[in-house]
Structure 1
Amino acid sequence: MARPQRIMLTVVFLGILGWIGLTVATGVGVRDALPERGYRVPEFTLVDLDGRPLTPDGLLGRPWLLHFWATWCSSCQKEMPDLAAFAREHPEVTVLSVSVGEKEQTVVDYVAEHPVASPVALDPNQDLYGRFAARGLPTTLWIDSRGVIRQVVTGPMTRSQMDALLATVR
C-alpha cells in the first residue's frame, strides 16, 4: 500500500476512534438523541415566570408545543412574533416557551418588550434542553394531547409551517 493511502486510512481510523471515545465519554449516543416522533415526552417539571409548575401530565388533554429559545438568538427573535400570533389564534394549543441558559431577569425584561408565546419557563442550567439532546435554537417539539411527540423542528419555523404542522398534533 502506498504511503498516502496508509496516511489516509490512519487518519480515518483515528477519527472513528475519536468519535467512539467522545460518544462513550460524554454518554451521548443513540439512546440520548433528541426524542423522535412517536415517543412519549418524559416527565419534567418547570416553573413559569409566575411561579406555577408546568409538567407534561398537566398539559395532557390538548396539543402542545415545547419550544426551546433564547433572547440572544436572532432566529428565535424573528420566529417568536409568528409563534406568539399562532398561540393567540389557536388557544386549543398550549405553547410552552422555554428560555435556555438565561437568567430570569433577562427573560422578564425581554418578555416585557416583545411578543412571546406563553407560558414562559426558564431552563437556566440547560437541564431540560440537555435532556432532550437538542442541538440548536430554536427547537420545537410538536406534541399531541396524549403527550406523544409528533414532530421535531430544529431551526426557525415560518407561520405557514406552523399552520401545516398543527395537523400533526390534532
Structure 2
Amino acid sequence: MRRTLPLLFLMIITKVALPPVYAQKPPIVREVRDALDVKDYAAALKALAADRAATGVTPSYIEAVSWIGRGYLAAKNYDQADHYAVEARKLALAALKHRQLDAEPSLPLALGASIEVQALVLDARGQKAEAVAFLQQEVKAWHATSIRARIQKNLNLISLKGHAAPVLDVHEYVGDKPPAVASLKGRKVLVFFWAHWCADCKAMAGVVARLAREYPQTAVIGPTQPYGYASGGMEVPRAEEIKYIDEVRQRYYKNIPGLTVPVSEENFKLWGASTTPTVAVIDARGMVRLYHPGRMSYEELLPYVRD
C-alpha cells in the first residue's frame, strides 16, 4: 500500500473542524456517521434504508449514501466503497438536473465525497494513472463550483509530491507583503494554510513558530481566505472580514517569525486546501516535498523542514 493511504483513511473517518455554516448536519447524516464511527455498517445501512422509505431520495439521503462509501473505504473494503461512491454520484447527478450544485450544502458534499472515494479506490488498487486522469477530468467539470478545492486536494495528495509547487497569489495580504514563491528558489518554504475559524490551525501555530525559530532560513507563508463571516459566524462585508482576519493573525500567529499572509480564495482552490490546516513544504528547487491536509505535530513536520 502506498505511504499516503493511511493518512487518507484517517482524513475520511475523522470529523474535521468545519466553519459554522456547516455545523448542523441532517439527522440521517448524523445517524449514519455515528454508526460508521463504531464500524456498525449494518446499522448505517438500516438507517439509510429507513430514511429512503420515509422521505425518498433527498439531498441529505444522498450525502448519507456518500458517507457509507467513505466508511467502507476506511475499512479498506474497496468493492463496497466504490459501489456506494458510484451510487452517490448517480443520485447526485440526477438531482442536479433540477437544481444548481451549490443551492444547498448536502449535494456538493455528496458529489465531492463520491469523486474522492472513486479516486482513492483506484489509487489503492494500484491504478494511480487512472485516478489522476479521473480527478483532472473532474476538476475541469466542477471548476466553477464549491467542490473544486476538494477535488484538487485529492489530486494533489496523489500526484503533487515531487512536482513543482503551484503558484501563490500574493496580490492581497495582511501584515507584511508576501514574496512570490518563485522568488524563494534556493530556500525551503513552509506553507501553512489556515482559516480564521479553525481551532486546529490555532493549535498548530506553536509548531510552526518553533520550526520557524529553529530553521530561520526557511520561509514561512500562511495563506488564508475570507469565508463571508467573522466572529460568531456573523455575515460581514469582505473588507470587514479582512480586518477580522488580521486581528486573528495578530492574536494567534504573531509569534511565527517571518510569517507572511496572502489572502486569496484562488490559492485555496489551486492548492486544494479544502481542509484546514493544510501544510506543504517546498524544497530549494521549488519542488513539493510534503503535502498534508490536516494538523501535524512538531515531530511529524520536523523531518521535512530539517532535511
TM-score normalised over the length of structure 1: 0.76
Q: How do 1:16-55 residues align onto structure 2 when only pairs under 5 Å count?
A: 16-17=89-90, 23=138, 25-27=141-143, 33-34=155-156, 36-47=160-171, 48-50=173-175, 52-55=177-180
Question: What is the Cα deviation at residue 121 of structure 1?
Answer: 2.0
Q: How do 1:84-95 residues align onto structure 2 when only pairs under 5 Å count?
A: 84-95=209-220
Question: What is the Cα deviation at residue 59 of structure 1?
Answer: 1.4
- Larger helix proportion, structure 1 or 2? 2
Seen in structure 2, the aligned counterparts of structure 1 residues 20 and 31 have a Cα distance that, compared at 3 Å, is farther
Amino acid at match of 2:277: P
Question: What is the Cα deviation at residue 110 of structure 1?
Answer: 1.6
Question: Aligned pair 1:111/2:246, yes or no?
Answer: no
Question: d(CA) in 2 for partners of 1:31 and 1:114?
Answer: 26
How large is the RMSD of aligned CA atoms in angstroms?
Answer: 3.0
1:64–1:96 contact (8 Å) kept in structure 2: yes
Question: d(CA) in 2 for partners of 1:90 and 1:154?
Answer: 22
Question: d(CA) in 2 for partners of 1:121 and 1:39?
Answer: 22
2:185–2:285 contact (8 Å) kept in structure 1: yes
* Cross-structure match for 2:295: 156
Q: Structure 1 segments of 4 or more deviating over 4 A?
A: 10-14, 18-22, 27-32
Question: What is the Cα deviation at residue 76 of structure 1?
Answer: 0.5
Question: What is the Cα deviation at residue 45 of structure 1?
Answer: 2.9
- Larger strand proportion, structure 1 or 2? 1
Question: Aligned pair 1:60/2:185, yes or no?
Answer: yes
SS in 2 for 1:99: coil
Question: What is the Cα deviation at residue 42 of structure 1?
Answer: 2.7
User: Structure 1 stretch 114-123 or stretch 14-23: which is displaced more?
Assistant: 14-23
Amino acid at match of 2:226: G
Question: d(CA) in 1 for partners of 2:162 and 2:203?
Answer: 29
Question: For this pair of structures, how many residues does the alignment match?
Answer: 157
1:65–1:140 contact (8 Å) kept in structure 2: yes
Amino acid at match of 2:223: V
Question: What is the Cα deviation at residue 18 of structure 1?
Answer: 5.1
Question: Aligned pair 1:135/2:274, yes or no?
Answer: yes
Q: Which has the higher contact order (CA 8 A, sep 6+)?
A: 1
SS in 2 for 1:135: coil
* Cross-structure match for 1:122: 263
- How much identity, in percent, do the aligned residues show? 20
Unaligned runs of 5+ in 1: 1-9
